[in-house]
Structure 1
Amino acid sequence: MPQGALAFRDFRLLFAGVVLISFVMPMQYLTQVFWVQQHYPGSEVMYVGLIGAARGLAMILFGLLGGALADRLERRALLIATQVAALAINAAVAVLMLAMPLGDATILPLLALTFFAAGNMAVDLPARQAATPAIVGMAALPSAITLQMVAQQVTFPLALPLVGYLNDHLEPGQVYALTLLAWVAVLPLLLALRFRSRGTGGAGDGVLRNIRDGLAYTRREPTLFAVVTIVLAIQVLGMPGPATLGPSWMRNVLGLTPTQFGFMAMTWGLGTFAASLFFFWRGHLPGRTATLRAAALGFAAGAIVFAHSRFVPLTAVANFALGFALVGTMVSSTTIAQRTVQEHMRGRVMGLFPLAMGLAMVAALPVGGAAQLTSLQAVFPIMAWLTLATVALVLLAARPRPLPEPTR
């Protein structure tokens, strides 16, 4: 049954922490976007792209490192350390946004702190994913993955209208500072964890050797290679438009106010929420390769509609479909990867998922630059059709095989 993962005390604590962090993450990113729009209106698209690129570059660099650390260190201690660092970094970001000590040049240290915050998150993600089988076992792993997605997505539609409302009534720096309250609860939850899970691979070698071995292992394993390639195609080509640069599209092309944007963005969150509940109740679907194929093609189709629509209700439907399909892609790809990978490589393989997210964010910089030189209306359709073409080619060339049902 899907509820099986909740029977484990440590998973319930981890689950609660994911809910809190997932609530503040979209609030932090969108508040930074509103801060840029307020203080740098003439360079908004480029600076939003730079924020995305800083986050993405950090996730590329630290995702591989985080995967190697998750295979070398005690994972509970690593999770606690990353969240202590997250609190410190985000507090510094709030101070910069409130005080602007360097005037217009404040964007430079803010980009640097954004880089380190994303890098810290890229270390946290593979450690959390690699620790999950040690907490719940392999039989309950699919439900645990789905529940973590539910924890992330149930908060998403709630956070977006709130962040729009708060930024209509408070300064962005004040809103960002409010998000720090989440760690008042997150840190005690992590400190209460009892499980121990030490990585079993690569401790005798250097970290760079660990990273190389993880990449080589993924390339040799056909199912893992196919799954990672599909995720990369969705993240790098599909995500920069509607996700990273979506706020600028909705403000500048559709003409929405911050509050209206919050409700429009909520449709993406509703799509992710609906998908999370769907896969929670249909727990046998995430491990099927047909689910991954359908979700990847569905995301590409949603991106095409989003890019061509100027009719707000149709854009809302496309945004809902994008959120639904993205969850389907990530739940199925993560489940298949977790059930395929050998234990001594688990952290390094799971570290490729934040790397894919990082590549999506870095891709926002050239996409944002091209949109600054031409227009968002010209660039978004090109990216959407490239997404469909690339996903179709990948699905024809790479066919991940179905997996047997796991045992405890």
Structure 2
Amino acid sequence: MNINTFRAFKSRNYRLYFIGQSVSLIGTWMQKTAVSWVIYTLTHSTFMLGVTLFASQFPSFLFSLIGGVVSDRYNRYRVLLTTQVASMLQAGLLAILILLKQYEVWEILSLSVMLGIINAFDVPARQSLVYEMIEDKNDLPNALALNSSMVNLSRLIGPAIAGLILEAWGDGACFVGNTISFIAVIGSLLMMRLPKYINKPHPKNVFGELREGLSYIKRTPSILFVLVMLALISLLVLPFSTLIPYYARDVFKGTATTFGIIDSFIGLGAFSGAIFLASQKPGANLKKILFISTLVFGAGLVLFSHQQSYPLALLFVTIAGFGMMSQITVSNTLIQTTVAQNMRGRVISFYAMAFFGMQPLGGLLVGAISKWVGTTDTLMGEGIAALLIGLLHWRYLRREKLKALRKKQMVEPVVVAAV
């Protein structure tokens, strides 16, 4: 860490957001861990873990574009406040269901679908509002990296707490804890002092604005490539997390605590990756970091996939977590620092579509393949896919470098001739 690591905290609104969201995210990861454990305990099926991921994230794929338009057309602050209250209600309903001990898998999946719809509107509004929270816009990359550190510190703490609570008090306590945690983020939003919202006219309808956003992405190759890369990673690699309960229970013969520990080590690696990015000086070569991070992610998964030693497995999954979060955070930063302000919500909705939309499809794919070739070989295949995607990025960077070199060679003779 250095003096650059926390420079975004100079903005009061961002400090409030960071504190409130940190508490809420710990609860969110407690709930995610508990849901995975409950589903796997009920079904003993890695395929059903993929179905659970599909149920919670595919609705975000379906509705995220509309969520992006809503973020650009209406007051993002009010949209975010509404989605946080709705998320609290969803968590409360899930807690009541689990505490009554009369639940079935389809009921948990239905509430997961509800959360996916809420997130479709939450993510574009939340990501776009971060820009407005930052007083010095040069601090935006730092704020986005700190966001990732927040997410992954909660991923480090949340599953570990969930594992202990699952064994000590049962699954219902995890869901109650998540419900209560939303008080922090809602309170922080109410304490913010943002500029007065000015309603702007929108002559185009929703579909017209969607087409406008898509045309903008097509005209901006740097954003388009990052979105394609992220979509491939989300489809083929990120669903590795759905297989972790299998490793905890069947490979390492563990309990809910083992599952929580493995998930926490993924979070430790991811948190380290986010802090690494937050410590980068302004002007760092993010495209190169994105390439290297993708390779680190893939290598970590390949090394973890067939590992029988628990300590070594924790080391390799930490490396994978580092590469994973660096890859995701840099993708987000490249988009946020490139996109035009009036297109921010819509472009972020495409980002959410690539990130959240492809994962549930990948979860179903990974679940099905694991039934066919086995879980360990499936996870190794995901690591190899990440390495191949990294090589694709290397090819793109090389082509961009050659283009820039040719352009420079074409300009220089003209300058000489003019002299």
When the two structures are superposed, what TM-score results if normalisation uses the length of structure 1? Answer: 0.90
3-state DSSP class of the match of 1:340? coil
| Equivalent residue, structure 2, for 1:11 | 14
| Equivalent residue, structure 2, for 1:77 | 78
3-state DSSP class of the match of 1:139? helix
Partners of 1:317 and 1:195 in 2: CA distance: 43
Aligned-pair identity (%):
25
Q: Deviations 1:170-221 (Å, cap 9, x if unpaired)?
A: 2212321222110222212111222147698993222233223222321220
Figure out how many residues of one structure are paired with residues of the other and give that number.
396
Paired letter, 2:312? L
- 1:178-327 to 2 correspondences below 5 Å: 178-196=177-195, 203-241=202-240, 243-284=241-282, 288-327=286-325
Partners of 1:400 and 1:122 in 2: CA distance: 35
Partners of 1:202 and 1:234 in 2: CA distance: 37
| 2:58/2:360 contact within 8 Å kept | yes
| 1:70/1:199 contact within 8 Å kept | no
Assess, with a 3 A threshold, how the Cα gap between structure 1 residues 13 and 132 changes in structure 2: closer, same or farther: same
Partners of 2:199 and 2:318 in 1: CA distance: 41
Correspondent of 1:28 among 5, 28, 31: 31
Partners of 2:371 and 2:57 in 1: CA distance: 19
Are residues 1:153 and 2:156 paired? Answer: no
| 2:68/2:348 contact within 8 Å kept | yes
Q: Deviations 1:346-372 (Å, cap 9, x if unpaired)?
A: 111112232223211331112112323
| 1:22/1:152 contact within 8 Å kept | yes
- Give 1:345 deviation, angstroms: 0.7
| 2:24/2:178 contact within 8 Å kept | no
- Give 1:400 deviation, angstroms: 9.4
Partners of 2:227 and 2:187 in 1: CA distance: 34
Gaps of at least 5 residues in structure 1 are: 403-408
Gaps of at least 5 residues in structure 2 are: 402-419
| 1:289/1:400 contact within 8 Å kept | no
Assess, with a 3 A threshold, how the Cα gap between structure 1 residues 302 and 16 changes in structure 2: closer, same or farther: same
In terms of Rg, which structure is larger?
2
3-state DSSP class of the match of 1:71? helix
| 2:248/2:258 contact within 8 Å kept | no
Assess, with a 3 A threshold, how the Cα gap between structure 1 residues 399 and 72 changes in structure 2: closer, same or farther: farther
- 1:385-400 to 2 correspondences below 5 Å: 385-397=384-396
| Equivalent residue, structure 2, for 1:45 | 46
| 2:144/2:329 contact within 8 Å kept | yes
Partners of 1:382 and 1:117 in 2: CA distance: 30
| 1:55/1:362 contact within 8 Å kept | no
- Give 1:139 deviation, angstroms: 1.3
Assess, with a 3 A threshold, how the Cα gap between structure 1 residues 82 and 397 changes in structure 2: closer, same or farther: same
Paired letter, 2:318? F
- Give 1:60 deviation, angstroms: 0.7
3-state DSSP class of the match of 1:13? helix
Assess, with a 3 A threshold, how the Cα gap between structure 1 residues 308 and 213 changes in structure 2: closer, same or farther: farther
Partners of 1:374 and 1:162 in 2: CA distance: 33
- Give 1:23 deviation, angstroms: 0.9
Partners of 2:199 and 2:229 in 1: CA distance: 28
- 1:348-359 to 2 correspondences below 5 Å: 348-358=346-356, 359=358
- Give 1:62 deviation, angstroms: 2.4
3-state DSSP class of the match of 1:351? helix
- Give 1:373 deviation, angstroms: 4.4
| 1:304/1:385 contact within 8 Å kept | yes
3-state DSSP class of the match of 2:6? helix
| Equivalent residue, structure 2, for 1:93 | 94
Partners of 1:282 and 1:67 in 2: CA distance: 29
Assess, with a 3 A threshold, how the Cα gap between structure 1 residues 376 and 113 changes in structure 2: closer, same or farther: same
Assess, with a 3 A threshold, how the Cα gap between structure 1 residues 266 and 2 changes in structure 2: closer, same or farther: closer
3-state DSSP class of the match of 1:245? helix
